[in-house]
Amino acid sequence: CIYCITSAGRSQAAVCSNQGLLYVFGGTDSWNCYNTVEVYDRQKNVWRFVASMSQARRGAAAVNYRGQHTSYSRIPIIVKNHI
């Protein structure tokens, strides 16, 4: 996508994809850390929120493992597939 803009500008977010969807976990706007998880559907060109993480995090990593999205920072969290 050329212009995939999430609901808030952020850096240090964790990102991974699954089944053609792009997932963005947490991140920061240089002041606030986010616990939100947003999903981008390229076919519909739309972002939507899914279940939030239990803790805000930045500088984390995300990976798609057997259909589940896992975000790692100090405390690992698994966000199940919300499709």
The CB density around residue 32, as the number of other CB atoms within 10 Å, is 11
Query: What's the CA gap between 24 and 59, in Å, rounded?
Result: 12
Residue 46, SS3?
Answer: strand
Task: Single out the residue of 4, 26, 32 nearest to residue 13, CA to CA.
Answer: 26
pLDDT digits (tens, 9 = 90+) for 22-70: 888 888 887 889 999 999 898 898 889 988 888 888 888 787 776 655 5
In eight-state DSSP terms, residue 53 is P
pTM over the 0.75 mark? no
Query: Would you give the DSSP letter of residue 56?
Result: -
> Tens of pLDDT along 9-25?
788 888 888 888 888 88
